[in-house]
Structure 1
Amino acid sequence: MSDDQVETSPATEEASRKTTWVVVSLIVLAVIAAIVWWWLPASEDKKPQTETVEVDQQQSSEVEVESYDEETAEPEPELELEPIPAEPEAAPEPQEPEPEPIALPELDESTPTVLQNLDSAEINIRPLKSSQLIRDAVVLMDNISNGSIVRERTIVQRPDGRFKVLEVDGELYIDESSYHRYDALVDWFVSLEADVLVENYELFKPLVQEAYAEIGYPESDFDSTLLEAIEVALDTPVPDGLVQVEDDSVMYTFADDSYESLPGAQKQLLRMGPDNIQRVKDKLREIRRALQ
């Protein structure tokens, strides 16, 4: 087979589908992750410090004190003072009424409300396709925090195109054109505003916790899972140059043992390509810096 020839395999469809779920999971991270530290208490007010002034006893003994006789002292004349007119009180500034909190829907019916609030906050919701957005996001984050992936949840529509490989001098490499299938999703991910995400997570956090309890964590806070998922993503290596793969007739595997031994979530992220991986990691660091 000649250099730069594109080779496809029955495994390409499976590899493409698995990669999609990891990208989807990272996008959901952006929708939820910015909330991790919103409950942090404000720093305590510092007590005012008082300054103690010590007087040198030797110096004080040298100060001459003038005697005073109450009986012989002439009284000072009394002065009649005119009352100072009181200044009119400033009118209080009008306060804007606080918006009334919305009533949260049932978890089963929450997706339309979540999408409506994100849309009202000028978040682009068009890529979101899940009918159970909170439940799917919670499951995906729990899996990524453990380094694994789940393909049974759909959050956004899959990218166009197929995963492809190149044969160069008898060796197989990921075709770099495959990476561009994820450009639009990554563009969307990096455009999300952290402040808006914080506000929406605060609003829907009770439903997130309810979904987290459903999958076996009734006493755990979902925030720690988000932090762990972010760390898993940030620990993904960024390849330098072409990535060699091997076709084992079922699916493609990485020829480099250091890649093939990575957790499943990180191995799938490698299929997004170096540029997209770096952009996702930069955004996650930005969110983490804002939270901390």
Structure 2
Amino acid sequence: MSDDRVETSPATEEASRKTTWVVVTLIVLAVIAAIVWWWLPASDDKKQQTETVEVDQQQSSEVEVEGYGEAVEPEPEIDPEPITEEPEPAPEPETTEPEPEPVALPELDSSTPTVLQNLDSTDVNIRPLKSSQLIRDAVVLMDNISNGSIVRERTIVQRPDGRFSVLEVDGELYIDESSYRRYDALVDWFVSLQPEALVENYELFKPLIQEAYAEIGYPESDFDSTLLEAIETVLETPVPDGLVQVEDDSVMYTFADDSYESLPAAQKQLMRMGPENIQRVKKKLREIRRALQ
């Protein structure tokens, strides 16, 4: 058997870029998904019921006849004095909490600094985020991943260090498992996101999210349905067992296994993160899905 060797080429760099885009998409997807369930409307308040009890007062006078056959003139009836009911005290006006005034949102074009500032104020680590149009990029990425595709032009987070690489074993190429580790820090950040800290930001910026969603052709659709479809797409990604064989077609690496190569593009690129990271991402998304349901 020949010595194993690590190779890097334009194909490895292309695979690295594509994997980064998928990871970026998943992170933004999780940020929004984790807080949707907080946004769902609460159940209707119980209706208060009041009962009115009416009391009828009956007044009667009786005439008694005394003696032995002698008629006794009845005593003159005395009209009873009218009963004056004390007026019920006027109910005190109910005190209601004043509704908070709506927050003035920035224009979508200039919303990214405000989004980052609000995330930071709720203890969300914003250092990995990198986008001049955060909401627009997130919406486009999630719309694409819900269809199983990926888009190269959008960048949300900083690229991880290192390069995607392959091993040659007995003339066959396999993904170098050491290249999976370059995504560990990014996945660590992803799984650490707390829904409670994100809900305020989702509710605050939901109008801008819908505006960005309308820009790409969905003016009458709710963004949440796309979110759920994207979650399902990711959760259906298979988890490789052992080394994954690839082929070099001079442009990019393709999977030697036809069942892998026929997967949607988003799932294929996610597989390049490695089994452990895929499992961690999917576990987080399952928690989010359970909360949504």
Superposition TM-score, scaled by structure 2 size: 0.80
**Structure 1 residue 31 and structure 2 residue 49: aligned?**
no
Residue aligned with 1:268, SS: helix
> Could you tell me the percent identity over the aligned residues?
90
Q: Alpha-carbon deviations, 1:112-156, whole Å to 9, x = none? A: 110000000000000001010000000000000000000101111
How far apart in 2 are the matches of 1:207 and 1:268? 29
Q: Which residue of the partner structure matches residue 166 of structure 1?
A: 167
Shift of 1:3: 2.8
How far apart in 1 are the matches of 2:288 and 2:38? 12
Q: Which residue of the partner structure matches residue 7 of structure 2?
A: 7
Q: Gaps (5+ residues) in structure 2?
A: 49-63, 65-95
RMSD: 2.2
**Structure 1 residue 240 and structure 2 residue 241: aligned?**
yes
Q: Which residue of the partner structure matches residue 266 of structure 2?
A: 265
Change (3 A) 1:12 1:202: same
How far apart in 1 are the matches of 2:112 and 2:98? 28
Residues 282-291 or 34-43, more deviating:
34-43
Aligned partner of 2:135: which letter?
A: I
Shift of 1:36: 3.2
Residue aligned with 1:36, SS: helix
Superposition TM-score, scaled by structure 1 size: 0.80
How far apart in 2 are the matches of 1:98 and 1:126? 34
Q: Alpha-carbon deviations, 1:199-227, whole Å to 9, x = none? A: 21111000000000000110111100000
- Aligned positions of 1:53-68 closer than 5 A: none
Query: Alignment length, in residue pairs?
Result: 248
How far apart in 2 are the matches of 1:39 and 1:161? 39
Q: Which residue of the partner structure matches residue 125 of structure 1?
A: 126
Shift of 1:46: 7.3
Q: Gaps (5+ residues) in structure 1?
A: 49-70, 72-94
Aligned partner of 1:3: which letter?
A: D
**Structure 1 residue 110 and structure 2 residue 117: aligned?**
no
Q: Alpha-carbon deviations, 1:190-249, whole Å to 9, x = none? A: 000012222211110000000000001101111000000011010000111110000111
Residue aligned with 2:189, SS: helix
Aligned partner of 1:2: which letter?
A: S
Residues 183-192 or 98-107, more deviating:
98-107
CA contact (8 A) 2:128 2:157 kept: yes
Shift of 1:99: 6.2
Change (3 A) 1:195 1:244: same
How far apart in 2 are the matches of 1:40 and 1:102? 20
Shift of 1:250: 1.1
Change (3 A) 1:3 1:280: same
**Structure 1 residue 205 and structure 2 residue 202: aligned?**
no
Q: Which residue of the partner structure matches residue 281 of structure 1?
A: 282
Aligned partner of 1:4: which letter?
A: D
How far apart in 2 are the matches of 1:181 and 1:155? 17
Q: Alpha-carbon deviations, 1:62-120, whole Å to 9, x = none? A: xxxxxxxxx9xxxxxxxxxxxxxxxxxxxxxxx99876543110000100110000000
Q: Which residue of the partner structure matches residue 227 of structure 2?
A: 226
Shift of 1:33: 1.3
Q: Alpha-carbon deviations, 1:12-53, whole Å to 9, x = none? A: 1111101100000001012211243445343456799xxxxx
Aligned partner of 2:272: which letter?
A: R
How far apart in 2 are the matches of 1:39 and 1:290? 11
How far apart in 2 are the matches of 1:35 and 1:221? 15
How far apart in 2 are the matches of 1:153 and 1:99? 36
Aligned partner of 2:159: which letter?
A: R
Aligned partner of 2:33: which letter?
A: A
